[in-house]
Amino acid sequence: MSQTHLSEQELVRREKLARLQEAGIDAYPAPLYPVSHFSADIKEQYTEENKEQFAAVCVAGRIMSINDKGKVFFIKIQDSKGIIQLYVKRDELYPGEDKSQWDILVKHGLDLGDIIGCTGFAFITKTGETSIHALTLTLLTKSLKPLPVVKRDEEGNVFDAVTDPEFRYRQRYADLVINPDVKDTFVKRTKLINTIRDFLNAQGALEVDTPVLQAIPGGAAARPFITHHNALDVPFYLRIANELYLKRLIVGGFDWVYEFSRNFRNEGMDRTHNPEFTVLEWYTAYKDYLWMMEITEQLFEKIAVALHGTTDVPLGDKVISFKAPFKRITIHDAIRENTGIDVSEMDEAGLREVCKKLKIDVPGNIGKGKLIDELFSATSEHTFIQPTFIIDYPVEMSPLTKKHRSKPGLVERFELMINGKEIANAYTELNDPIDQRERFEEQVKLMERGDDEAMFIDHDFLRALEYGMPPTSGIGIGIDRLCMMMTNQVSIQDVLLFPQMRPEKMD
Q: Is 309 left (phi over 0), alpha (psi -120 to 50) or beta?
A: left
Question: Strand pairing of 256-264 and 276-285?
Answer: antiparallel
Instruction: List Cα–Cα distances, 298 to 54, 190, 232, 257, 304, in angstroms.
Output: 44, 19, 45, 18, 10
Residue 415 annotated as binding? yes
Distance CA 401, CA 438 (A): 12
Q: State which H helix or E strand residue 312 sits in.
A: strand 312-315
Q: How long is the chain?
A: 507
Distance CA 157, CA 291 (A): 46
DSSP secondary structure letter of residue 325: S
Q: Which residues make beta-bridge pairs with 390? A: 329, 415
Distance CA 376, CA 341 (A): 12
Instruction: List Cα–Cα distances, 380 to 336, 389, 423, in angstroms.
Output: 9, 13, 15
Angle at which helix 368-379 crosses helix 331-339, to 10 degrees, equals 50
DSSP secondary structure letter of residue 27: S
Q: Is 348 left (phi over 0), alpha (psi -120 to 50) or beta?
A: alpha
Distance CA 286, CA 298 (A): 19
Residue 92 annotated as binding? no
SS (HEC) of 396-450: HHCCCECECCCCCCEEEEEEEEECCEEEEEEEEECCCHHHHHHHHHHHHHHHHCC
Q: Quick check: bond before 325 cis, omega within 30?
A: yes
What is the residue-wise DSSP string for 102-125?
IIIIIIHH--TT-EEEEEEEEEE-
Provide the residue type at 226 as one letter: I
User: CA Rg, the chain, in Å?
Assistant: 29
Distance CA 311, CA 302 (A): 8
DSSP secondary structure letter of residue 455: P
**Residue 6, CB half-sphere, CA atoms under 13 Å: how many?**
14
**Residue 149, CB half-sphere, CA atoms under 13 Å: how many?**
2
Distance CA 250, CA 344 (A): 33
Q: Which residues are annotated as part of the binding site for Mg(2+)?
A: 415, 422
Annotated binding-site residues read 415, 422
